[in-house]
Amino acid sequence: MKLDDLTCPSCMTKIEGALGKKNGVENVKVLFNASKVKAEFDDATVSAEDLATVVTDLGYAVQSSKVKQL
């Protein structure tokens, strides 16, 4: 997923922590310099849109909810 408001490394940690707690998510990597999120998740349990909702609930703007699988 592509983000708009990723401004500092602590943002990266906050997003990785929140997504990592989501049921069905096995691995999350936020690429700070690229403002992107990549995740390994069970799409039978959680969707890319669910992950985008977690990020927007944290206060970050999501340009695209398409999540690249790791």
Please say whether the structural domain 2-69 has been given the CATH code 2.60.120.560.
Answer: no
pLDDT at 5: 72
Q: Which residue, among 36, 18, 38, has the nearest Cα to 28 in the 3D structure?
A: 38
pLDDT at 64 over 80: no
pLDDT at 70: 56
Residue 23, CB-side half-sphere exposure with 13 Å CA sphere? 2
Summary mean pLDDT of the chain: 89
Domain range list for the chain? 2-69
Q: What is the pLDDT of residues 37-61, one digit of tens each?
A: 999 999 899 999 999 999 999 999 9
Q: Long-range contacts for 47-52 (Cβ within 8 Å, ≥24 apart)? A: 48/1, 50/22, 51/1, 51/19, 51/22, 51/25, 52/1
